Amino acid sequence: MKIAIIMGSPQRHGKTATALGFLERNLLSQGHDIDRINVTDYNINACLGCYACMQNKDAAGCIQKDDAEQVLMRISLADVVIYASPLYCFDLTAQLKPLVDRSFCLSNTSLLDGKRVALLITCAGQEEGNADLVQEFFRRGFDGENKGMFHTKLVGEYVIPYSNASDFNERARKTANDLAAAILNDQ
């Protein structure tokens, strides 16, 4: 199975990357193909809201000429897409949000239909009253079974709170294993 993992953290070796390392090792050990996409490696402009992308039903047709099309095509080739981000002001990072917004062009095509999607959030604070806004945002966009914008299947939303606590790695490993199991059990 091909799994695209989109890391939205500007910290290449931060807590989100640590959690993804556990997840990637788990999935690789089971023979899956991982495509890690660090959004900070790409130039992805904000969506213009021009709707030009809605004119083409067969491709990701954004008129902007940046790296978004390349990243969106990599996403479209995956069986599973995992969006991972630290929580910044109750939301995805500013680096990841433009890619999610630009994914709007895929809502008019079949490039995401049936794909399984998951969210992994790390945050310094508690989960309740902290990550709930980004989880709801993600559900509205990616839970196609419940009228989400995309025709995808939301496998789950995973939050690792208290990322600065001394037991973070232990909890991150457990969460990564839970996420891997959810992906593999949902085939």
HEC secondary structure over the chain: CEEEEEECCCCCCCHHHHHHHHHHHHHHHCCCEEEEEEHHHCCCCCCCCCCHHHHCCCCCCCCCCCCHHHHHHHHHCCCEEEEEEECECCECCCCCHHHHHHHHHHHHCCCCCCCEEEEEEECCCCCCCCCHHHHHHHHHHHCHHHCCCCCCEEEEEEEECCCCCCCHHHHHHHHHHHHHHHHHHCC
Q: Which fold has domain 2-185?
A: Rossmann fold (3.40.50)
pLDDT for res 164: 94
pLDDT tens per residue across span 35-70: 999 999 999 999 999 988 888 666 667 889 999 999
pLDDT for res 103: 86
pLDDT for res 114: 81
pLDDT for res 52: 87
Position 106 confidence tier, pLDDT thresholds 50, 70, 90: confident
Q: What is the pTM of this model?
A: 0.93
On average, the pLDDT of the chain sits at 91
The better pLDDT of the pair 109, 47 is held by: 47
